Chain A
Amino acid sequence: MSTSDLLAASPAIPKDGGGPVFAEPWQARVFAMTLAAHEAGLFTWSEWAETLGAELATDPAGTAGYYDHWLAAFERLLGAKDIASEDTLKGLRAAWDSAAKATPTGEPIVLARR
């Protein structure tokens, strides 16, 4: 394959000038949680990079967003470290879902615990 063939077969690199750091608030949240969890000693940064790398490798075409993969990798690493089981997370998601649905539009959603 010549270079021009390779180029023709290569997906274009997306460009973003000085776009925002995070496209949506949840991305900032999961980013900050990952940093904080690392700093709390839950995993080393190399473990994180490996997990994120493995997760990104499942999607070479980049169909899902970068932070979607980041979130999946974070869940996977916390699961592997026995910090967050899938069952616990499922329960919490359901609780947040009910809390949201019980909250009138425009008001902050609060999760009542214990």
Chain B
Amino acid sequence: MPGHDHSHDHSELSETELRVRALETLLTEKGYIDPPALDELIETYETKIGPRNGARVVARAWADPAYRGRLLADATAAIAEFGFTGRQGEHMVAVENSPHIHNMVVCTLCSCYPWTVLGLPPVWYKSPPYRSRAVRDPRGVLAEFGVELPKDTQIKVWDSTAEVRYLVIPMRPEGTEGWSEDKLADLVCRDSMIGTALALLPSNRKGAA
């Protein structure tokens, strides 16, 4: 509290922390939530679910035409082949980039995002400027992310909802013929699966000479 004379011999919780603790106490006492289960949920989203999941999906789509076909036909099922199922991944749609079309994903309402394959969204994805400008001026937004597309490439912007989540399949970089899925996955950065970046070039791969 501003102006409050903090004593150092006792604890102090911020207004925000008080609000959060009040909610947790109430929901726990009513039996709706179980604090240890919350710890587990947090650990999962902090350490276990992230864009490495999506990168494996994209790498397989690049390497295996039959998988690519399944992913485009029914992304939820194809992603589930990896065991990536559950919250906010119930209805997935995969959209594929080509020299003619570049796909980009936004949630103009709030921050709907494909958690099962990408984890939780980055700060910029949740920010008002991105949410409002992605639809209005996608080329300008891409430029801010350092992505310049050929003039005749059409940009398609997909607005996520609580029901439908999108995964962008970026274009496979040249010079990666015969690469293993693991090696390919290293090129698939998070932003390339949201559409605000391209896949990395082989020369930019981690550990590349």
Contacts and interface: CB of A to CB of B under 8 A. Distances in A.
Given A37-B32, A59-B128, A61-B128, A29 B19 contact: no
Nearest to B87: A35
Q: Is the interface of A mostly helix, strand, loop or mixed?
A: helix
Given A32-B38, A60-B128, A89-B19, A3 B46 contact: no
Contacts of A37: 27, 32-33
B23 A84 contact: yes
A13 B10 contact: no
Interface size class of A (residues with CB under 8 A): 35 or more
A24 B83 CA distance: 30
- Find the residue from B23, B45, B46, B87 having the highest chain A CB count within 10 A: B23
Contact of B18 (A13, A84, A96): A96
Interface string B21-52: 11111110110111001110110011000000
B21 to A, nearest CB: 5
Given A52-B110, A89-B22, A28 B10 contact: no
Given A26-B16, A97-B13, A13 B127 contact: yes
Interface of B: 8-13, 16-27, 29-30, 32-34, 37-39, 41-42, 45-46, 87-88, 109-112, 119-120, 122-124, 126-130, 132-133, 136-137, 139-141, 144-145, 161-163, 190
